[in-house]
A = this chain, B = another copy of it.
Amino acid sequence: MSGRNIGIKDVAAAAGVSATTVSQVLNDVASARISPETRDRVRSAAGQLGYGPNSVARALRTSRTALLGLVIEDVGTSPHAGQVIRGADEAARARGYSLLVINTAGSAGPDAREADVESLLVRRVDGILYATMHPRQLQLPANLGDVPAVLVDAVSAVGAGSCVSGFAAVVPDDDGGARAAVGCLLAAGHTRVESIGAGDQEQGGYAAARRILARADRPTGLVCHDEPMAMGVYRAAAELGLAIPADLSVVAFANNHLLAANLYPALTTVTRPHTEMASRATEILIDGIEGRADLAGLAVHPTALPCTLTARGSVGPPPFPATPRGNF
A52 touching B122 in the complex, CB below 8 Å, given contacts A102-B98, A256-B258, A262-B231: yes
Cα A292 to Cα B226 in complex, Å, equals: 47
- Do B103 and A100 have beta carbons less than 8 Å apart? no
A75 partner residues in chain B, CB cutoff 8 A: 82-83, 85-86, 89
Expressed in whole angstroms, the minimum distance between the Cβ of A319 and any Cβ of chain B is 21
A258 partner residues in chain B, CB cutoff 8 A: 79, 227-228, 256, 259
Cα A90 to Cα B259 in complex, Å, equals: 28
- Do A56 and B228 have beta carbons less than 8 Å apart? no
A275 partner residues in chain B, CB cutoff 8 A: 76
- Do B119 and A101 have beta carbons less than 8 Å apart? no
A227 partner residues in chain B, CB cutoff 8 A: 258-259, 262
Task: Decide yes or no whether A312 CB sits under 8 A from chain B.
Answer: no
Cα A228 to Cα B100 in complex, Å, equals: 33
A257 partner residues in chain B, CB cutoff 8 A: 77
A246 partner residues in chain B, CB cutoff 8 A: none
**Chain A contacts with B in 298-320, Cβ cutoff 8 A:** none
Q: Which of B81, B90, B99, B232 lies in contact with A82, CB distance below 8 A? A: B81
Task: Decide yes or no whether A123 CB sits under 8 A from chain B.
Answer: yes
For chain A, give the interface size range.
35 or more
Q: Which of B98, B235, B256 lies in contact with A123, CB distance below 8 A? A: B98
Cα A4 to Cα B143 in complex, Å, equals: 11
At the interface, is chain A mostly helix, strand, loop or mixed? helix
A293 partner residues in chain B, CB cutoff 8 A: none
Cα A257 to Cα B257 in complex, Å, equals: 14
Q: How many copies does the complex hold?
A: 2
Beta-carbon contacts of A269-281 to B below 8 Å, as 1s and 0s?
A: 0000011000000
Task: Decide yes or no whether A48 CB sits under 8 A from chain B.
Answer: no
- Do A103 and B89 have beta carbons less than 8 Å apart? yes
- Do B100 and A102 have beta carbons less than 8 Å apart? no
Task: Decide yes or no whether A263 CB sits under 8 A from chain B.
Answer: yes
Task: Decide yes or no whether A238 CB sits under 8 A from chain B.
Answer: yes
Beta-carbon contacts of A47-86 to B below 8 Å, as 1s and 0s?
A: 0000011111101100001010010000111111111111
A85 partner residues in chain B, CB cutoff 8 A: 75-76, 81, 85, 101, 103
A232 partner residues in chain B, CB cutoff 8 A: 262
Task: Decide yes or no whether A9 CB sits under 8 A from chain B.
Answer: no
- List 8 other contacts, CB 8 Å, given A2-B118, A2-B143: A4-B124, A52-B121, A54-B60, A55-B123, A56-B56, A79-B256, A100-B100, A101-B101
Between A and B, 23 residue pairs with Cβ closer than 8 Å are: A2-B118, A2-B143, A4-B121, A52-B121, A54-B124, A56-B60, A57-B60, A76-B84, A76-B86, A77-B257, A78-B82, A79-B79, A79-B256, A86-B103, A89-B102, A90-B103, A98-B100, A99-B100, A206-B264, A228-B258, A228-B262, A235-B264, A258-B259
Residues of A whose CB lies within 8 Å of any CB of B are 2, 4, 52-57, 59-60, 65, 67, 70, 75-87, 89-90, 93, 98-103, 118-124, 143, 146, 204, 206, 227-228, 231-232, 235, 238, 256-259, 261-264, 274-275
Query: Which 6 pairs across A and B sit closest by C-beta, in order of nearness?
Result: A76-B86, A76-B82, A76-B83, A231-B262, A75-B82, A101-B101
